[in-house]
Amino acid sequence: MPDLPYRTVIGLEVHVQLLTRTKLFCGCSTKFGLPPNSATCPVCIGMPGVLPVMNRKAFDLALKAALALNCEIASFTKWDRKNYYYPDLPKNYQISQYDLPFSHDGGLTIKTDAEPKRIRIIRVHLEEDAGKSLHDEHGGGHDSRVDLNRAGTPLLEIVSHPDLASAEEAKAYLEEIRLLLREIEVSDCEMQEGSLRCDANVNIHIAQTDGSLAATPIVEIKNLNSFRAVERAIRYEAQRQYEEFQRTGKRLGEAPKATAGWDENRGVTVIQRRKEEASDYRYFPDPDLVPVQVDAAWLERVRGDLGELPAVLRVRLQEQHGLTEYDAGVITQQGRAFAAYFEQVARDSGDAKEASNWLTNQVLQRLNERKITIRDFPIPAAGLAGLIRHKKESGLNAQRAREVYVRMLETGASAEQAINDLGFKVVADEGQLVEIVRRALAANPKAVADFRKGKVKAADAIKGAVMRETKGLAKMEVVQRIVMEELQKA
Amino acid sequence: MSLTADDVRWVAHLARLELSEAELAAMTPQLAAILDYVGQLQQVDTNGVEPLAHPLPIHNVFREDELQASLPVAAALANAPDRQGDFYGVPAVFE
Amino acid sequence: MSEFTATQLLGQFKKGDITAEAVAREYLQAIRERDPAVRAFLHVDEAAAIEQACRVDQKRQRGEALRPLAGLPVAIKDVLCTAGHPTTCGSKMLQNFIPPYDAHVITRLKQADAILIGRTNLDEFAMGSSTENSAFHVTHNPWDLERIPGGSSGGSAAAVAAGEAPLALGTDTGGSVRQPAAHCGVVGVKPTYGRVSRFGLVAFASSLDQVGVFARSVSDAALLLETIAGHDSRDSTSVDQPVPPYSKTVDQPIRPLTVGVAKEHFAAGLDAEVEQAVRAALDVYRQLGANVKEISLPHSPYAVAVYYLVATAEASSNLARYDGVHFGYRAKEYTDLGSMYCRTRGAGFGPEVKRRIMLGTYALSSGYKDAYYTKALQVRRLIKNDFDRAFAACDVLIGPTSPTAAFKIGEKSDNPLAMYLSDIYTISANLAGIPAASIPCGFTKMNLPIGLQIQAPPFAEEKMLRVARMYEAATDWHQRRPKR
């Protein structure tokens, strides 16, 4: 953002729910949207005497995510209690990780307007989610209600360095995390359902007349629950800090770190004065859980499950299929299944460029309209490849090809079948074409006469007649050549 | 180690314990005496000693990701001091 | 019949000389007669006990195989959850709490056809050494009703000593089974940390808590322990190791036997009569062929300090859940969420619980954690290392269980630190996670029981019980009963 009088500095804390069937420490379901308090048990209610036992799948998924985020995996990790009082935290402590997270020091490369940029990741740790407090506006005395269904859902916290320099970069980083974690089936990352949530630590650096930089106090914006909210809140907060700095001149270190909420309706951040105690979480090792040691064999097993990561796929699509960076990006963004579909179409049709055009235009449009994924797309890859081949070999024009495609979508027919159904008789035989051209010449004596008088344009009328006759199923170049040959002869 | 009544008030707040002035007056010297007693640990040389949080060196204990029956809603809420429909009722939670 | 040991009762029951119902009725009668003075129990459901007993009798009549504790009444410390029954932890906070689950040990007892005869009194949330900290009433020592029975499992110890139950379960976080066993003249065993599942044991200090047993003889304790021990997948700290049949081998002496005696266990503060009894007990072991040698546990003098930081830190977090939201007591008057929390906890907990929550909160708080909590964990390791070294040279360590016999009710109420120091010999075993037992080894001139503590390496309960039984077989202290 070169037009702003300051540079924005952003670090993100991203929380994602893991795709386990059951909670982190008990066998209750993690399914979203169940009736209130119907997926709880003594363990996640925190009743006296019950004990947590860790979900192996959750730890495996966490390892997978950390490896995909290029993190180092600790050979020894443990669980700590983070103590604070809140009604949706039934034990009044959260089982989390403090000084020995299971992974640290990773990074993720994002696209920016300029060069691709690596955003460093400080740590990734595993913890349990809290329940939900519902605030009833007109309740009087009892105006909050607590639902513990979400309490104990496994949550991954991904903490970045303050390497993000704009709201756009923050969004790009979040999108890349979402793509990556969806691809490796660690999380569905649905922001509306809360399975991807984000807190942003924001401040700005303002160039001073003496050439130095002034950094403003950091504000943590909590609970951003849409990509739009992330972008708007960061932009708003940066500008707010700029204006406040103009007014107060307060710099980093001269005011405590503040916490803010984002008011979506008013489009403003609201600073919440927090007492100092909020940070006195009294962390200590959870005596009810034992440490985890991860060895090389375990890591290899998880690594083997990772598959091709988006960053690798994006490059390979360019190198192997000659796609532009943009097209490779669009295809990668749609996920592995979509990319696999593309690759099959490209292989079977022998024309990656054409395959990419079809996928990034018609196919994507259809998927978006119907809100379906490529798995539910009615035309198999072989079918779409068939259409591309027909188009190339037989001279089906773009208009006709789209008609065939629509027919294939509607009936599930093969390209050949759809062409037949539509009566598009492919004219491949040159002898046959010569016959059609001769008939067209005979039917258009005026055009032939004009051509002889030197009006080259007159040939177009003949070509048009031939294309009409062949219903667009002759190759234009071939038609052109034969028309010229026959006109010369005539 | 001198412990003031204000220190005790602060800790009581962290622990969400309401203490009467009488309790506070009684507890302050008791806690001070105990802290004085445990202060003897400072005499022990613990340089390079790894803290021992678990008495036994057990690690890697997991359960499989298999669904277990949850409590029926009525049973889950049976002990709640303030049941509000299918929810736990609490005084207003202010952010 | 209420004078019989559990092993004797089981033998007669198996022979068909007695019925489970008759045993249950006898003990219920004993409770009716003696408990108004002793006050060991918080809750006894006579009808339920008799019903359980009748079911066991019917099973026998049908010719079904008899389970290991068939028809034996067991008293339960009211900190072990029993589905559908109030589990109060001796606290106003949980006065009306009804858990929808059984503790693992309760499940084991039910499977063994034991009769759950009643819930025994305790120091609130097992915090105390005298059972004076119960929110409901004080329990009296059956040997001298003006004295404390020890604690925190004082109700269970007193019930067994008074002949109100042949067996009982307690919990031991810093000596809460062994110290009351010593004061009440019964056998008390705290197993290795991880030997018995903590599932359903309402936590005081999770890295120290362990379920233990009370009985009138070592054999009875072995029988009860082998029933409740073993792996449970619901407790991550439960250890998956086979449980030897303790009751089958308990009569076999250990030979050769090397007994370690820690010189730190005979330091200032040890009552002369207690010391005399313990030294006499060591002579008995010598006569039985044991090699008794002095060893040192150099960091044991710091055990109380370590314990009161580690245990209270864990407790401050474990007890945070009692906040008036999801279960338990809620204050009547409050203005907002914050005052609801503070008033509920201020009124729901008694003074000792509040004191420990305060201490633990302080020990973990910002700026003090390294100096208190973390330092304590480091010294804890040194204490464990002391034991590792000692057990490299000895089979077991033997010494006093408690520095004095039972003190008077109210004697130490105003001096928490003095009360804490009465756990000085028992606490180390919890910090190190090792098993330890207390067996009767004599009486003071005032006719108050004295306990002998036997400590063993991790998972060496079998050896520990056999060593205990060697002494018991050579003496008759365990056969004495309080006057009624």
Nearest CA in chain A to C79: A49
Q: What is the mean pLDDT of residues A99-125?
A: 95
| Span C379-407, pLDDT tens digits | 999 999 999 999 999 999 999 999 999 99
Residues 200-239 of C with CB under 8 A from A: 200-203, 205-207, 233-237
pLDDT value for C460: 98
Phi, psi of C285, deg, nearest 5: -65, -40
pTM of the model: 0.92
Inter-chain residue contact A51 with C233, CB threshold 8 Å: no
pLDDT value for A302: 96
Please indicate if any CB of chain B lies within 8 Å of the CB of A51. Answer: no
Identity of the residue in B30, B90, B93 whose CB atom sits nearest the CB atom of C416: B30
pLDDT value for C178: 98
pLDDT value for A444: 85
Residue C176 annotated as catalytic: yes
8 Å CB contact between C221 and C465: yes
Alpha carbon distances (Å) from C463 to A323, A378, C63, C311: 74, 72, 35, 28
**0.90 surpassed by complex ipTM:** yes
Catalytic residue among C2, C152, C153, C197: C152
pLDDT value for A1: 46
Alpha carbon distances (Å) from A200 to A214, A223, C61: 20, 9, 71
Identity of the residue in A53, A92, A287 whose CB atom sits nearest the CB atom of C206: A287
Residue from B4, B19, B52 to probe the interface with C (highest C Cβ count within 10 Å): B52
CB contacts < 8 Å between A and B, how many? Answer: 128
| Span A339-367, pLDDT tens digits | 999 999 999 999 999 999 999 999 999 99
Which residues, listed in sequence order, are joined to residue A259 by a DSSP beta bridge? A220, A272
pLDDT value for C40: 98
Inter-chain residue contact B61 with A87, CB threshold 8 Å: no
Residue C77 annotated as catalytic: yes
Distance CA C197, CA C211 (A): 8
Query: Percentage of chain A surpassing pLDDT 70?
Result: 95
The whole-angstrom distance between A42's CA and the closest CA on chain C is: 8
Catalytic residue among C2, C153, C156, C176: C176
Q: Which residues of chain C have pLDDT under 70?
A: none
Q: Residue A141 pLDDT > 60, yes or no?
A: no
Chains near C (3 or more Cβ pairs under 8 Å): A, B
Kindly list the residues from chain C whose CB atom is less than 8 angstroms away from the CB atom of residue B8.
Answer: 358
pLDDT-based confidence at residue A467 (cuts at 50, 70, 90):
confident
Residue C152 annotated as catalytic: yes
Kindly list the residues from chain A whose CB atom is less than 8 angstroms away from the CB atom of residue B83.
Answer: none
Query: CA gyration radius for chain B?
Result: 22
Q: What is the mean pLDDT of residues A418-433?
A: 76
pLDDT value for C33: 97
pLDDT value for B95: 44
| Span A79-97, pLDDT tens digits | 999 999 999 999 999 999 9
A→C interface, C-beta within 8 Å: 42, 45-54, 81, 83, 85, 87, 90-93, 144, 146, 148, 279-280, 282-284, 287-290
Kindly list the residues from chain B whose CB atom is less than 8 angstroms away from the CB atom of residue A37.
Answer: 73, 76-77, 86-88
Phi, psi of C220, deg, nearest 5: -65, -40
Kindly list the residues from chain C whose CB atom is less than 8 angstroms away from the CB atom of residue A288.
Answer: 203, 206, 236-237
Q: What is the mean pLDDT of residues A262-288?
A: 84
